[in-house]
Amino acid sequence: MFLRIKKSGPREYLQIAHNRREKGKVRQDVIATIGRIDVLKASGSLESLLRSGVKFSEKLALIDSGKQGESLSSREYKIGLPMIFGRLWKETGIKITIEAHLDERKFRFLVERAIFLTVLHRLSKPGSDRAAEKWQNGYKIEGTEGIDLHHLYRAMAWLGEELPEGYQKGATPFSPRSVKDLIEEGIFQRNRDLFGELTLVFFDTTSIYFEGNGGEEIGAYGHSKDHRPDLKQMVVGIVIDGTGRPICCELWPGNTADVKTLMPVIDRLKIRFGIQRVCIVADRGMISKETIREIEETKGIQYILGVRMRKQKEVREDVLSRGGRYEEVYPKSTDSKAPSPLKVKEVEFKGRRYIICINEDQAKKDALDREAIIATLKEKLKHGGKSLIGNKGYRKYLKNTGAVFEIDEDKVKQEVRYDGKWVLTTNTALSAREVALQYKQLWMVEQIFRTMKTILSTRPIYHKCDETIRGHVFCSFLSLLLIKELQQRMSAKGWEVEWADIINDLEELKETIIETGNKEVILRSELKGQAGKAFQAAGVAVPQRVK
């Protein structure tokens, strides 16, 4: 129904009418004629009539109350992140797995909600747990009412709590099993169909430093990848499957060398996840002769490992010198979205299988970079060369002739043979191209670490107790799992979206609650940018604009 004006000579009448369809055409029927418009306006009857009808509409009644001078109150909350990641939190099995391990515990607050709050905070405004407590006030997060800072600390401590002796089977020599391990295993079992047969895993480590003393046992001085040898640190390892889905995270004292962690991690994976055959893909930092020999003596373990070309004598002097044709994996392309050009060549030496890989674009870049360095060196050597020795990039091209430094032409020629190349060794039956492609996927692990240490700001860590430190890092792991889940769902729909854009656009989605007396209206802001795609990918219905 609607109001319409009917003209009759010089006069205008206000009528109530409605539309009906008759034989495919729309007809208007007059329900009632209210009166002449000029008379209704002059007497104030029109305004009184409309206001009397407002009480039958809560939305209009609220607006009218404000106009009549009644007090209005409003609150605004961000709803995008809680809605999207709240759904993924449930569908990945994280929520139910955490709750299952809380059944016998008698906490007086919702531990699962405290963990979800911490994880959500990492996705939005990375920072400490203290910051998370204040941050939550601007968001509509179901079930987090009344959660304070001490609840967040207790939740972190529970995640990192050391398990009883009977549950320590499969612990590494460097760190005990804790509650977070049970949760990782539970999530894996609930999503086993997604992981499929877990035979190919990627493994890499990084160091994360502490502010202050940090860590009772897990904090130690060691080789710092953050270039902070003055601070205690811990070592964090990440294991992901062949699709990039995070499986688990491992935590060790900061003085644990990478080469010592590989075999314990493999043994632990087989026990924790029931894996019979494992193919480890790891970078050059994991390599040692002892590690490779131990892997080869262990049944059911295969490997694709990077080789340190310059430091491994048989690779430097024999493998790289072997002739043979390269097989093209990816051709050179002008398409910026195309894979980088790649060629591979297989070499067998003393029973060991090597794959030489070359990116010709990178080879040209390496050559140009070296030429620029040599040109700079020649110029600087005219003014004395002692100051150059402190620069590693320069030092490898210099030699000391006694009185002065000169460019070592032999070293320059040696470097040419490494341009654009990397060398792999493997005991798999995969073809050379398959080995190279699997190893190239290791960038996913490196990307995860970049995300963990920048977007999620896992570092620096302010906790002092080992259990809260383990819980803190595990929350970053759970955040990564949610990130990967949303990215895979969006990729399945053909959408490749920048992660920062998704977060920024979801942060813009808000609900404003307006109240007066016993009336309430909730207004939703417009969807912006990539927010709509995130809702579709997660399978979440967008709230009504007004309710």
Domain hosting residue 31, numbered range: 1-54
Identify whether 139 is part of a domain: no
Give mean pLDDT, residues 291-301.
75
- For residue 136, give the amino acid letter: Q
How many CB atoms sit inside 10 A of residue 275's CB? 17
Q: Given a cut of 70, is residue 458 above it in pLDDT? A: no
Averaged pLDDT for residues 257-276: 75
Domain assignment of residue 18, yes or no: yes
Is pLDDT of 120 > 90?
A: yes
Q: What is the mean pLDDT of the chain?
A: 82
pLDDT in tens, 91-106: 999 999 999 999 888 8
How many Å apart are CA 186 and CA 192, to the nearest integer? 10
Which residues, at least 6 apart from 354, have a Cβ–Cβ distance to it below 8 Å? 307, 315, 319, 346, 347, 348, 423, 424, 425
Give the integer Cα–Cα distance in Å for 205 and 319.
Answer: 28
Given a cut of 70, whether residue 420 has pLDDT beyond it is yes
- Whole-angstrom Cα distance, residue 195 to residue 187? 11
How would residue 519 be classed by pLDDT, with cut points 50, 70 and 90?
confident
Query: 17 phi and psi, to 5 degrees?
Result: -135, 170
Residue 248 belongs to what H/E stretch? Answer: strand 246-253
Range 504-519 average pLDDT:
84
Is 459 part of a structural domain of the chain? Answer: no
User: What pLDDT sits at residue 154?
Assistant: 94
Q: Which residue has the higher pLDDT, 520 or 199?
A: 520
> Residue 93: which of 227, 206, 184 has the closest Cα?
184
Q: How many domains does the chain have?
A: 2
By the 8 A CB rule, do 223 and 303 touch?
A: no
Residue 121 forms part of a structural domain: no
Q: What pLDDT is attached to residue 161? A: 94
Domain assignment present for residue 502? The answer is no
Coil/strand/helix, residue 168: coil
Percent of the chain past pLDDT 90, that is, above it, reads: 27
Q: At what angle do helices 531-538 and 466-492 cross, to 10 degrees?
A: 100
pLDDT on residue 456: 46
Is 59 a residue whose pLDDT tops 60? no
Task: State how far the Cα of 5 lies from the Cα of 56, in Å rounded to an integer.
Answer: 23
Q: Is residue 222 part of a domain?
A: no
Higher pLDDT, 543 or 519: 543
User: Which tokens is 320 given?
Assistant: 């790289």
Residue 38 has pLDDT above 70, yes or no: yes
Average pLDDT on 294-308 reads 80
Instruction: Tell me: pLDDT of 492 over 70.
Output: yes
Residue where one domain finishes, among candidates 383, 416, 449 = 416
CB 515 within 8 A of CB 72: yes
Domain-embedded: residue 409: yes
Q: What is the mean pLDDT of residues 209-238?
A: 74
Q: What is the pLDDT of residues 371-390, one digit of tens each?
A: 988 888 888 777 766 656 55
Predicted pLDDT at 284: 62
E-strand stretches of 256-313: 278-282, 301-307
Q: Considering the entire predicted model, what is its pTM?
A: 0.73
- Return the sign of the alpha-carbon dihedral for residues 140, 143, 145, 150: negative
User: Is residue 34 within 8 Å of residue 16, measured between CB atoms?
Assistant: yes
Give the mean pLDDT of 462-489: 86
Q: In this structure, is residue 122 part of a structural domain?
A: no
